[in-house]
């Protein structure tokens, strides 16, 4: 049986959610709270498997409440169920340890399935939240892919190997290039990065996250 605590400052919503979840296959609502501070106390007292948490609550917000709960009970499943889905709140909740994020307009059946999934150790997010998360991480990947955009792809390969501590003959072997070609690439890198020598180029590369000290 998955034991659930509901934390929301609207009593009508709490009662409705309790009626929805209580008695569903494998679910039992064992407590509820009207604010974040009360949620922390109730959850730490009852140690449920899942806490369904609103974010905007009096006394203590849901993000901080989730953080405090997971500091003591790191295995608890926190499911955010809120009206708000802006990026700042989504990622603040994830950072606090939430394993799920749904909006209150979600269908009843989907809410039930989400609570069951969180209780089983899974993570679940609404479609709009998942798309937003993918967009965020795609943007991070894209920003990494265009490091030193003034360089060609091959020049960037040479720079990364330089930053890893390889000398020109080793780079030539690694990339199947002639020694002269590597020397020309290195010279072009110095010019495009506006650095005086190999050491300065390596510092620039490592500061940007390329290569690693040998």
Backbone angles phi, psi at 2, to 5 degrees: -85, 120
Cα Rg of the chain, angstroms: 26
Please state, in angstroms and as integers, the Cα–Cα distance from residue 214 to each residue in 36, 155, 161, 167, 198, following that order: 49, 20, 11, 12, 15
- Residue closest to 122 by CA, chosen among 64, 49, 66, 73: 49
From first to last of its 214 residues, what are the pLDDT tens digits of the chain?
999 999 999 999 999 999 999 878 899 999 999 999 999 999 999 999 999 999 999 999 999 999 999 999 999 999 999 887 777 788 888 888 899 999 898 899 999 999 999 999 998 887 767 666 666 665 555 555 568 888 888 998 999 999 999 999 999 999 998 999 999 999 999 999 999 999 999 999 998 888 765 4
Helix (H, G, I), strand (E, B) or coil at 130: helix
What are the beta bridge partners of residue 33? 7
In whole angstroms, what is the distance from residue 120 CA to residue 112 CA?
Answer: 12
C-alpha to C-alpha distance for 83 and 193, rounded to whole angstroms? 48
CB-based contacts of 134, cutoff 8 Å, min separation 6 = none
**Quick one: DSSP state of residue 76?**
P
- The pLDDT score that the predictor gives to residue 214 is 47
Q: Which run of H or E residues covers position 191? A: helix 179-193
The structure's pTM equals 0.62
pLDDT score, position 197: 92
Beta carbons of 5 and 29 less than 8 angstroms apart: yes
Residues 6+ apart with CB under 8 A from 42: 5, 7, 31, 32, 33
CA 151 to chain centre: 31
């Amino acid at each position: 049986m998955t034991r659930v605590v509901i934390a929301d400052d609207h009593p009508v919503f709490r009662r409705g959610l309790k009626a929805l979840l209580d008695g569903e296959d494998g679910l039992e609502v064992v407590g509820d709270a009207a604010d974040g501070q009360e949620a922390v106390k109730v959850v730490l007292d009852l140690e449920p498997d899942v806490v369904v948490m609103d974010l905007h609550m009096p006394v203590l917000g849901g993000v901080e409440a989730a953080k405090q709960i997971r500091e003591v009970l790191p295995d608890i499943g926190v499911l955010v169920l809120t009206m708000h889905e802006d990026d700042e709140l989504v990622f603040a909740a994830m950072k606090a340890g939430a394993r799920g994020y749904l909006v209150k307009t979600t269908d009843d059946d989907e809410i039930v399935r989400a609570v069951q999934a969180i209780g089983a150790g899974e993570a679940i997010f609404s479609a709009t939240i998942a798309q937003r998360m993918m967009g965020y991480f795609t943007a991070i990947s894209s920003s990494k892919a265009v490091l030193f955009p003034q360089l060609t792809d091959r020049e960037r390969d040479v720079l990364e190997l330089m930053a890893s501590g390889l000398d020109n003959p080793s780079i030539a072997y690694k990339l199947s290039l002639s020694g002269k070609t590597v020397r020309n690439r290195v010279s072009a890198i110095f010019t495009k990065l506006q650095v005086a020598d190999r050491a300065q180029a390596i510092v620039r590369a490592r500061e940007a996250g390329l290569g690693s000290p040998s």
